[in-house]
């Protein structure tokens, strides 16, 4: 048994977040770490060995950062641990509170914030550049001597000045995915993930409309949480175009979503060319590969490197609905080709793209930090 204690802290993500809870917290708990998770607006409970501590956090962005961030940090400090792992940029404002514990704090960089600000709709366009520069300056001051985890290797080029950083990628938990039973294929393709225009929802519907006009018999399952306003927009688009072949399922538990995906001919991930998407792997791409599905993904260099080296799918311009329709039509009409791509992707996951390897790296990083802390070395 490790005998070590870690507290994960978030004021933004739901407690059941895939990276935070399912991969990190549950994975560490299975390796005999004593794991607590402080998260917003959730009842206190223990799930799969992880102690979940709920904190009341306002939904307003400003109040969430100023009030919610403070509350979750204070709640985390009330738990004695060997180290603390924070997951949100706004928590950097309150990281200093951990000094009362005199324990190391790890910051998990889920996204490249200065780049993300340039596409945030809630930030006035005229303010985006100023806010991005301001955040970059604050971030440099806050993180210069900090312990940092980068969720994408591509972020490192922006943070050459970091002294204590490691990359922990969002690879799939293959143990579950690879064990899902084979299922008879139906004439469908699938998207699993958060649903938004930036993540390709409108382009997928445009492609389905194009395929309907071509006479290609195929349906589309869209699985994942969706804002009510955008759901209404998509529903109106479906009715207006008579797309009865598209189903908006909303959120499904991961296992249910993967079982549905297993029956599909291909998995889609045509994210828009926004800075954070261009520089970040879409986890869903690796999940599709683990399920043995050929992937149809955006033609960003990062994605293409995986697809081309593994020969597991087709890359398309995410702004070109006709190109997406062409890729889907090819996979629907050439099933041996689709099966070959799917098998290649599954083999690549088994050989290279696995969460257990990332968990090894995370645990190794933790052990180094705890060892230094216990011997009084500076971190």
Could you report the per-residue pLDDT of 153-184, keeping only the tens digit for each?
999 999 999 999 999 998 988 878 888 888 88
- Looking at residue 101, its pLDDT comes to 83
- How does residue 127 score in pLDDT terms, banded at 50, 70 and 90? confident
Give every CB contact of residue 59 below 8 A, 6+ residues apart in sequence: none
Q: Give the C-alpha distances (Å, rounded to integers) separating 38 from 8, 84, 103, 353.
A: 6, 10, 17, 29
Q: Write out pLDDT tens, residues 133-153.
A: 998 999 999 998 899 999 999
Q: Coil, helix or strand for 163?
A: coil
Separation between Cα atoms, residue 257 and residue 277, nearest integer Å: 22
Look at the block and give the residue holding tokens 């000045």: 161
As beta bridge partners, residue 39 has: 54
- How does residue 116 score in pLDDT terms, banded at 50, 70 and 90? confident
- Domains of the chain from N-terminus onward: 5-171+355-374 (3.40.50.2000), 174-351 (3.40.50.2000)
Percent of the chain surpassing pLDDT 90: 79
**Mean per-residue pLDDT, 299-320:** 97
Q: Coil, helix or strand for 152?
A: coil
Separation between Cα atoms, residue 39 and residue 345, nearest integer Å: 35
* Tokens at 269, concatenated: 């991930």
- Looking at residue 378, its pLDDT comes to 44
- How does residue 100 score in pLDDT terms, banded at 50, 70 and 90? confident
- Looking at residue 2, its pLDDT comes to 64
Would the pLDDT of 1 be above 70? no
Would the pLDDT of 379 be above 60? no
* Tokens at 30, concatenated: 């299975």
> Higher confidence at residue 183 or residue 35?
35
Torsion of CA 224, 230, 232, 233, to 10 degrees: -120
- How does residue 62 score in pLDDT terms, banded at 50, 70 and 90? confident
Q: Write out pLDDT tens, residues 65-77.
A: 889 999 999 999 9
């Amino acid at each position: 048994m490790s005998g070590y204690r870690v507290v994960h802290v978030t004021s933004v993500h739901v407690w059941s977040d895939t990276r935070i809870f399912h991969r990190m917290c549950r994975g560490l708990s299975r390796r005999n770490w004593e794991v607590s998770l402080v998260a917003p607006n959730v009842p206190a409970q223990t799930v799969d060995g992880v102690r979940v501590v709920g904190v009341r956090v306002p939904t307003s962005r400003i109040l969430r950062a100023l009030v919610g961030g403070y509350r979750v940090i204070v709640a985390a400090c009330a738990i004695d641990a060997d180290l603390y792992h924070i997951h949100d940029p706004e928590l950097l404002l309150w990281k200093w509170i951990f000094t009362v514990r005199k324990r190391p704090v790890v910051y998990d960089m889920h996204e490249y914030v200065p780049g993300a600000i340039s596409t945030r709709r809630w930030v006035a366009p005229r303010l985006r550049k100023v806010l991005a520069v301001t955040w970059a300056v604050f971030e440099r001051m806050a993180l210069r001597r900090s312990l940092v985890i980068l969720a994408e290797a591509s972020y490192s080029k922006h943070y050459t000045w970091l002294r204590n950083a490691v990359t922990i990628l969002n690879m799939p938990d293959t143990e579950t995915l690879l064990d899902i039973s084979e299922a008879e294929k139906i004439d469908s393709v699938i998207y699993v993930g958060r649903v938004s225009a930036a993540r390709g929802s409108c382009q997928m519907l445009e492609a389905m409309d194009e395929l309907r006009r071509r006479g290609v018999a195929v349906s589309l399952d869209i699985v994942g949480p969706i804002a009510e306003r955008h759901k209404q927009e998509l529903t109106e688009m479906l009715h207006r175009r008579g797309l009865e072949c598209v189903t908006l399922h909303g959120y499904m538990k991961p296992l249910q979503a993967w079982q549905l995906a297993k029956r599909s001919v291909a998995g889609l991930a045509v994210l828009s060319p926004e800075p954070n998407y261009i520089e970040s792997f879409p986890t869903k791409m690796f999940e599709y590969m683990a399920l043995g599905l050929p992937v149809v993904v955006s033609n960003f260099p990062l994605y293409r490197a995986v697809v081309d080296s593994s020969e597991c799918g087709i890359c398309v311009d995410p702004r070109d609905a006709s190109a997406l329709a062409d890729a889907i039509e090819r996979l629907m009409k050439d099933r041996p080709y689709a099966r070959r791509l799917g098998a290649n992707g599954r083999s690549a996951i088994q050989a290279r793209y696995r969460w257990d390897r990332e968990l090894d790296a995370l645990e190794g990083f933790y052990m180094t930090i705890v060892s230094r802390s216990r011997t009084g070395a500076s971190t």
